[in-house]
Structure 1
């Protein structure tokens, strides 16, 4: 029996579902009970998220993630001193999230977070062997214009109030001035969070499946799979992958429910693997029908992205659905090793049924800088 067909442990299954959503942002899930949709709290009454600390906000905090996101990717002008630029941006983020910046135009910050990353070109300038110095390779099913590939600076802005996103982006870009030049931006939103298991919830995506059921949720898992332990200038940071994808929604919606489930390898209504059980059950990849067919098809997303087969770790995702320029997904994953992403997507690239419904139109990777405070500015120790 091959490794792919072996009966995986629960730990392997957790990794599988994490990698499943991580590389495409689309995780098969369960049809959970409807969540009561009361009127959302006003931004003025929403608890604020501290901008300072060991890690930047907007990765694991807040939980659950805010419903609105704007990602801005920019280049840094040649000859610019990166250290002072990042320190200025960090101070601006602190003022904006504290509600102390007049550029908020009177809007309460609520749960606003800004997460800043630097691209491989800048990381290589600081040290060619540092985490985050490697560019993403090219994959199939990409239709990417030159200015939508790569970039020097990521501004990930998240908030409960969608009005904050362009206001904060304008403030930060004005702070940077002619030292940066915007490449592209993309806004997105999350559906209501659905309870998955105790302490874990996830939103539903445009294909009707829950997105991001499993990831490194515990402190131990985050130390192992999410946060960089070193070297010292990057400790407490992480590696982000950002990919904008178009979804062939009409073609997927035209499939029968059974065919949609075959794409994912899971039941749409219950979230159970096609091999049986509940949403929490291990997918039995070796299970077959009486006539010898695999219950989980050979090209099903769950099988192709199984980390026990790929040899990849867990990723934390903040994926958001989009409707402009076309229905799709802004996929953002965080991991402490870029190979976690690249190995999984390379394994999926050949025969994952789900990828046939996606086209990637923008892609980049960034070193998400460690957290900062008044004594240690953003980017300190890495750039001067």
Structure 2
């Protein structure tokens, strides 16, 4: 059983999950259950995503990302052996994603992925010099309680079937029992996917704009910007940043479409940069109007967060829209250098027009563990 001081309760969570799913329909999210054909028959569940391999699933795979997510952030209680706990969770991830676990209650897992990361405190117990040992610094426009900052363990559960997500969360947390103390959790959904390039799409968010267009989407870019090449204990992993943000939707919605596009630096209808081209085009940040004004305003989000302007690497972003505790976004970025995120947000903080509509209410960073298999359990390279 989970400890009595965990929160929220499973009953509260199940209610919240239903609320998010219902709210997602009004927010333009995809259908959160298996689609039906024109005769009313339920379509086959999505193809399974292998849990084992060099990298954990749920980061670059599947593409596009599943429409439903639950992120659970917890602490490992004092005296708990981290290695055996992770190995045990990894074995359960294998049985749950393969559909051989009775705790699924007969539901097919479909494209279920479970991705697990460890926080800086646990990494420092192994080696303070390893990637993932550094905490995130505080940033402007934060309203974060101590309970919602940091954490030892991230369990990210994603699936096409909304019913699978809470069932898997319950199975994993019950298995961990009193070895974990939950800090916070957040459910989210992704909106309809918009084609960006061959084999690549991105969803719309609660602001109505396509989210996650730029990133390390090719294998070469992922090796350069996403995956950790070493040291050996972390090779094949990556660094995650998780931030929950409230959005001031009424203020943003009160702007004209032209004003909204100036905040973002892209057209709302098709995602193309204001400098021209298509959704896949790089913004031409030097392009100006005949009277000398930048086509992409100086404080536009795509300019202030641009990797070349910041002088940082690329982040792989998987953002989810949320309805509770307030309308907003659960922002997740993956990168092989934490400075990619911290430098970008520092640069944005000085004059990014988008930030005036956001308040961050939870924040953490995690080393997303390297991949695993039967011979090499989850976490064994670090805690074996």
- Whether the TM-score (by the shorter chain) exceeds 0.5 is yes
Q: Is the 8 A contact 2:70 2:188 kept in 1?
A: yes
SS of the aligned residue for 1:183 comes to strand
Corresponding position: 1:360 with 2:360: yes
Q: Is the 8 A contact 2:196 2:280 kept in 1?
A: no
Corresponding position: 1:301 with 2:296: no
Corresponding position: 1:40 with 2:35: yes
Task: Determine the structure 1 residue equivalent to 2:139.
Answer: 139
| Structure 2 runs not aligned, ≥5 long | 1-29, 37-41
In structure 2, relative to structure 1, the CA distance for the partners of 1:259 and 1:87 (3 Å cut) is same
Q: Is the 8 A contact 2:115 2:157 kept in 1?
A: yes
Q: CA deviation at 1:274?
A: 2.3
Task: Determine the structure 2 residue equivalent to 1:347.
Answer: 347
Task: Determine the structure 2 residue equivalent to 1:159.
Answer: 159
Rounded Cα–Cα distance in structure 2 between residues aligned with 1:181 and 1:94:
23
| Count of residues in Structure 1 that have an aligned counterpart in Structure 2 | 350
- TM-score by length of structure 2 reads 0.88
Q: CA deviation at 1:345?
A: 0.4
Rounded Cα–Cα distance in structure 2 between residues aligned with 1:229 and 1:130:
12
Q: CA deviation at 1:47?
A: 1.2
Task: Determine the structure 1 residue equivalent to 2:19.
Answer: none
Q: CA deviation at 1:123?
A: 0.3
In structure 2, relative to structure 1, the CA distance for the partners of 1:156 and 1:43 (3 Å cut) is farther
- TM-score by length of structure 1 reads 0.88
Rounded Cα–Cα distance in structure 2 between residues aligned with 1:285 and 1:49:
39
Corresponding position: 1:279 with 2:279: yes
Task: Determine the structure 2 residue equivalent to 1:258.
Answer: 258
**How large is the RMSD of aligned CA atoms in angstroms?**
1.9
Task: Determine the structure 2 residue equivalent to 1:338.
Answer: 338
Q: Pairwise mapping of residues 147-296 of structure 1 onto structure 2 (< 5 A)?
A: 147-296=147-296
In structure 2, relative to structure 1, the CA distance for the partners of 1:108 and 1:38 (3 Å cut) is closer
Task: Determine the structure 2 residue equivalent to 1:324.
Answer: 324
Rounded Cα–Cα distance in structure 1 between residues aligned with 2:79 and 2:184:
22
Q: Is the 8 A contact 1:216 1:316 kept in 2?
A: yes
Q: CA deviation at 1:44?
A: 5.5
Q: CA deviation at 1:217?
A: 1.3
SS of the aligned residue for 2:367 comes to strand
Q: Is the 8 A contact 1:43 1:108 kept in 2?
A: no
Q: CA deviation at 1:43?
A: 8.1
Q: Is the 8 A contact 1:44 1:109 kept in 2?
A: no
Q: CA deviation at 1:271?
A: 2.8
Corresponding position: 1:113 with 2:113: yes
Q: Kindly indicate whether structure 1 or structure 2 has the higher relative contact order, using CA contacts under 8 Å at least 6 residues apart.
A: 1
Kindly provide the CA deviation profile for residues 126-180 of structure 1, in whole angstroms up to 9, marking residues without a partner as x: 1100010000011001000110000000000000111111111111111111110
SS of the aligned residue for 1:89 comes to helix
In structure 2, relative to structure 1, the CA distance for the partners of 1:257 and 1:109 (3 Å cut) is same
